[in-house]
Amino acid sequence: MAMAESVAPEAAPSSDYLELLQLVERLHRQLLDVVKDELDREGLDDLNSVQALLLFNIGDQELTAGELRTRGHYLGSNVSYNLKKLVDAGYIRHQRSAVDRRSVRVSLTEGGHAVCSHLNALFERQGTSLAPVGGVEVEQLPAMNTALARIERFWADHIRFRM
């Protein structure tokens, strides 16, 4: 008679970890809403919040769509679609690389830099009111950033090493 294998019951994820997952998801959506609200206040109705953050993350750099994707900011087709919209709207200039004609490098136009300035001002205002209004002390931010960076690395390793 064969003995039944003993299988340990799967442990349920901790409620703290599940809360973290929900918070990360909600925070991302909330950031997009905050950026959209700022765009609306500035009368920038030809941009969505994802496009504005794309401009913000390009900043003063000259990058390829692939570089934006590998930095982890955007999904593949999403980058191409939004870059095309931003070029058409005059926020981004694009130029084929002299070295690799298949590669297109993008940089911000004056209008793109103006959007970055609006977002910089927004984030500066938020940074100065984080403690008095939000109850988050500036001294807490490095520990929060470290914890979130470790979670990001954990998730990347999970995918990379199929954990």
Q: What's the pLDDT tens digit per position in 15-36?
A: 999 999 999 999 999 999 999 9
d(C-alpha 23, C-alpha 151), whole Å = 13
Q: What is the pTM of this model?
A: 0.85
Q: Going from the N-terminus, what domains does the chain have, and what CATH number goes with each?
A: 42-158 (1.10.10.10)
Q: What is the largest CA-CA distance in the chain?
A: 79
Residue 59 has pLDDT above 80, yes or no: yes
pLDDT category at 65 given cuts 50, 70, 90 is confident
pLDDT category at 104 given cuts 50, 70, 90 is confident
Residue among 40, 50, 29 nearest 118 (CA):
40
Mean pLDDT for the chain?
89
Q: What is the pLDDT of residue 9?
A: 63
Q: What is the pLDDT of residue 138?
A: 94
Residue 78 has pLDDT above 90, yes or no: no
